[in-house]
Amino acid sequence: MTTSLQSATTLHNGVNMPWVGLGVWKVDNGREVEQAVQWAIAAGYKSIDTAAVYGNEEGVGRALKQSGASREQLFITTKVWNSDQGYDSTLAAYEESCRKLGLDYVDLYLVHWPVKGKYKETWRALEKLYKDGKVRAIGVSNFQIHHLQDVMADCEVVPMVNQVEYHPLLQQRELLAFCKEHRIQMEAWSPLMQGNSLDHPVLRELAAKYGRTPAQIVLRWDLQNGVVTIPKSVNESRIRENADLFGFELSAEDMDKIASMNQNKRFGPDPDNFNF
């Protein structure tokens, strides 16, 4: 299944989504993002994860053009920001994101956060974009089980993806089981814990055992759990390192060791208690 950087998971509508992508949160819209995206594509990445609020859709778009990669080979994700949620404003936000990216369509459009009183209307706008053939797949981000149940109670299209904070210190097992049961592909944001805790003794021990880096151990653990992963780096050698996950396999015993690291610790905001 996950045998190379070209390997993909098939979403419930039949669209293929690469298991590994490059995240570009906090990456500058200028040369920084252009370089990172180009290095990633040169290293074999097909998938880039941005968002309107990251302010770098234009830079991502420039890099995609300069890379010469064919559009059909790429998988581009962006997200509607909270202040644009609502039906008409989401439709307009999608057009604006496409314009900034210089693309006719994106592969995956996500509701960035479950804004109370708004996210269902926003979801109807995503369904409209999907039914009109303007976007290949639609999904959500930072949705807990109750948010998903709320959307699924009367939606026409079940979300194809839920992108959430997920790493060894925050394993979200119930949410992952719920997503698997409903064929919603889970995707890990901050998979590397934003660069924290990579020196955890379990990760160091496994890195030494497999002759890999702690980051590679964590990212491989995502894949073996059936979770799409989008590590961020602006460093060429780390971009390569984070994609080199296919020449080894963690044993069941070592997967359990990582499972024991869970602390339900978030580095980002709590989806049930945020104010932006």
Q: Which of 235, 247, 249, 263 binds ligand NDP (CB under 6 A)?
A: 235
CA 67 centroid distance within chain: 21
Judged by CB under 6 A, the residue of 140, 189, 254, 258 near ligand NDP is 189
Q: Is 119 a catalytic residue?
A: no
Q: What SS3 state is found at 217?
A: helix
Binding flag, residue 241, ligand NDP (CB under 6 A): yes
Our finding on whether 193 is near ligand NDP (CB under 6 A) is: yes
CA angle in degrees (0–180, nearest 5) for 220-186-239: 40
- For residue 194, state whether it binds ligand NDP (rule: CB under 6 A): yes
What's CA 249's distance to the chain center, in Å?
22
Q: Does 176 engage in binding with ligand NDP (CB under 6 A)?
A: no
Site membership for ligand NDP, residue 272 (CB under 6 A): no
| Alpha-carbon torsion (59, 65, 67, 69), positive or negative | positive
**Is the CB of residue 150 less than 8 Å from the CB of residue 142?**
no
Q: How many residues bind ligand NDP (CB under 6 A)?
A: 28
Residue whose structure tokens are 């302010």: 55
Q: Based on CB atoms, which residue is closest to ligand NDP, 86 or 231?
A: 231
Least Cα distance to 162 among 123, 211, 201 occurs for 123
Is 190 among the residues that bind ligand NDP (CB under 6 A)? yes
Q: Does 85 bind ligand NDP (CB under 6 A)?
A: no
CA dist 225 and 120 (Å) reads 29
Could you say which residues in the range 18-37 bind ligand NDP, by CB under 6 A?
23-25
Check binding of 100 to ligand NDP (CB under 6 A): no
* Residue 270 CB burial class (10 angstroms; 0-12, 13-18, ≥19): exposed
Binding mask 131-170 for ligand NDP (x = CB under 6 A): ----------xx--------------------x-------
- Length of the chain, please? 276
CB of residue 70 vs ligand NDP: minimum separation in angstroms? 23
Q: Pairing relation of β-strands 8-10 and 16-18? A: antiparallel
If you write DSSP's letter for every residue of 53-86 in order, what string do you get?
A: GGT-HHHHHHHHHHHT--GGG-EEEEEE-GGG-S
- Figure out which of the listed residues 169, 192, 245, 250 binds ligand NDP, where binding follows CB under 6 A: 192
**x/- string (CB under 6 A) for ligand NDP, residues 31-70?**
------------------x---------------------
Residue with structure tokens 């997200």? Answer: 79
If binding is defined by CB under 6 A, does position 247 make contact with ligand NDP? no
Catalytic residues: 54
Q: Summarize as ranges the residues that interact with ligand NDP (CB under 6 A).
A: 23-25, 49, 112, 141-142, 163, 189-195, 198, 213, 215, 230-235, 238, 241-242, 268
